[in-house]
Amino acid sequence: MRKISTTQWWDINTGLGGAGGWTTSTLRDQAVTLRDVVAKVGLRFSSEQGADALALQATRGRLDAASLLAHVEPGQGRPAQTSGWDLRGLAALAMLWTGRSRNERELAAGAEIYHWLTQVPEVIKQLPAAHHLLAAQALFLTQRHEDLRNSLAVLHRVPPINREYLEIDLANPVTGDSTSHSAWLDQMNGRFTNAGLAPIALATESSVTHFFDRLEAPSIKAGTAHGPLVTVVVPCFRPDEGLLTSINSMLAQTYADMEIIIANDASGPEFADVIAQAVALDDRVTSFDMPVNSGSYLARRAALGLTSGEMITTQDADDWSHPQRIELQVQALLDNPEASASRSNAVRAKDDLTHQWLGYPPIRKNASSLMFRRSELATTGTFLPIRKGADSEYAERLEALSGPIVDTNSPLAITRLRMGSLSRGDFTFGWSNPDRNAFRSAYRAWHRDLLESGNRTDLGLTLDFTVPSSFVRNLPEHPVPRQFDLAYVGDFRNDLAPFPEGETAPTLTAVASVPEMLSSQTTERTALWHQEQVGLAQAKRVDVHASWADLVQRHAHVETLTRLTQAHVTRVVITDPRAVLLAQGLPCHVSATEVEVWLNPEVAVPSADATPVDLLETSDVCHRWFGVRPTWTFAPGLTTQQRMAIRKALGSLTVADDQS
């Protein structure tokens, strides 16, 4: 292919002009062989360009995503014009539509495509397990229960645990099946009885609305086991009848020696009655009110100062714990004195006791079940003063600084699957909130720093590293929006360490100069903003490399930033124009006074078999996100010859002289 200029590219490009055209073209090139990788990139960025790339690949260039969506009518069967299409590409598009399910139409279309593919044995048998799982769950979630029953035999790669719970859910009375309650409960009890636990049942006489709130285990007697006092903290905010379910499940525990404290997170007077009902259930239950709404972890911290249990655990305000949970977790700690904590598993379930969360297994480690010794508070600290994610951080801190967590590996709770919660709203199949990723990178750098420095004083009482603004929303100690003098935007997945001679990737040339700049800018408040680059797509999300997180931890004037942070930056520096293109359709809460884009030869002077990066597309993203058009400047460290080549390739585009 002849080398072409940026200004020529749009004239000869076929059918991909307009917003995001270059990104679509780049992703389509990848989709020829890496269909599922492009689908997963599309999921991470909820990308219309990813959907268009897969639709064009699937239809051999005939239809973009919107046009193809109009051809997919659930229940109408496979259209005749699909002859000759790339069915593996079509499966990847179904993964993207199903996984992101931004609307019911896309979910229904994904389910329909998967249903077509179950009738093409030579294709469906080659698809990885993720496709089989999404196909089965999409059919269930679109109420196509009979189609699911007929397809399960060919969807042979559905993970066994998911298959088990799909069959349980197909037997659930809410699906309209004639299966009896007792047969359905027998199926649902398999995981419990196989773990040596008492079987669960549903209360027969109950005025509550949901199956979930009728859960019980009547064959086992409460209060038969004794030992060290256990404090159970139950934070709640605007609770419903689920709080009574939660507290009753604690009172039904075989373990007798407990104190249960409800931490009311400023729910308001209209919720006082349900909290009073919960307290009245038993004299072991007390409550207190937070003065202002601060989130469940600050409520937990406040509760710890009011209780005296030798062991401490928590319970979510709408979950149900099996009667043997506390006894077995206490025993796990007593049997393993070197362990810092114990933890159990949970079965996820909706109000109707179905278990399908698209792309996820029905059983997980139960973060809120973490049980630790009170002595850990003196050596490992307490929960961080943030609104979300503190249980995951604290568990990792315990393991890093104190000792292993012993898992019972048994399902000792059923947790309520409601998508409006702070935690579940941050995750869907193939996507997680970038603030979560930034938080995890930051706290792991903090843990490494703690291990190296040996400083263990008052851990968790204050924040010793920067967290995204959504983690401290409306907390008075952390004003929003934040202010920065400078922010570097780039793909920081790679190690800071120099590459061996001859192996330095061209895309890293400019980024490699950032650490020196960060070290020299000791008076400017600076941010590091990680954005995955087009052209370096991978199936799994790769977060900022640990060495970059350590760099931020070591520099007091440097913080991490994401597009969801409410912040203003005086000067945003985009180290490579491709670093913003994957996320171009997503919201950005960062404002900027000026934006500068670094240019390097790889971007402006491509090889003979590549098209140059569409700088107009980059400019449009900057304008959409920040309200200003960027200025263009040479990346640091370029030779005079490289600058001349860039100027020649870009023609009339004005490039600032980096020496001026």
pLDDT in tens, 92-112: 999 999 998 768 999 999 999
492-to-282, 526, 560, 632 alpha-carbon distances in Å: 54, 15, 11, 21
Domain range list for the chain: 32-158, 212-421, 481-656
The bridge status of strand 341-349 relative to strand 655-656 is: unpaired
What global pTM score does this model have? 0.91
Q: If you average pLDDT over residues 81-87, what whole number do you get? A: 88
pLDDT bucket at 505, cuts 50 / 70 / 90: very low
Cα three-residue angle 23-27-32, rounded to 5 degrees: 155
Q: Quick one: pLDDT at residue 81?
A: 77
Backbone Cα Rg of the chain: 27
156-to-117, 302, 390, 546 alpha-carbon distances in Å: 13, 50, 38, 38
CATH for the 212-421 domain, from 3.40.50.1580, 3.20.20.140, 3.90.550.10, 3.50.50.60: 3.90.550.10
Residue 51 has pLDDT above 50, yes or no: yes
Enter the CATH code of domain 481-656.
3.40.50
Residue 20 has pLDDT above 90, yes or no: no
* Sign of the CA dihedral running 415, 416, 420, 421: negative
pLDDT tens profile 381-435? 999 999 999 999 999 999 999 999 999 999 999 999 986 555 557 889 999 899 9
> Rounded mean pLDDT of the chain?
89
Which residues contact residue 132 at a Cβ distance below 8 angstroms, ignoring those fewer than 6 apart?
Answer: 124, 155, 156, 157, 158
Name which residue leads in pLDDT, 197 or 480.
197
Q: Is the CB of residue 589 less than 8 Å from the CB of residue 567? A: yes
Q: How far apart are CA 488 and CA 462, in angstroms?
A: 27
Residue 204 has pLDDT above 80, yes or no: yes
Residue 2 has pLDDT above 60, yes or no: no
Q: How far apart are CA 223 and CA 200, in angstroms?
A: 18
Distance spanning both ends of the chain, measured CA to CA: 37
Q: Is the CB of residue 87 less than 8 Å from the CB of residue 120? A: yes
**Among 458, 447, 464, residue whose Cα is nearest residue 377:** 458
Q: Is the CB of residue 208 less than 8 Å from the CB of residue 241? A: yes
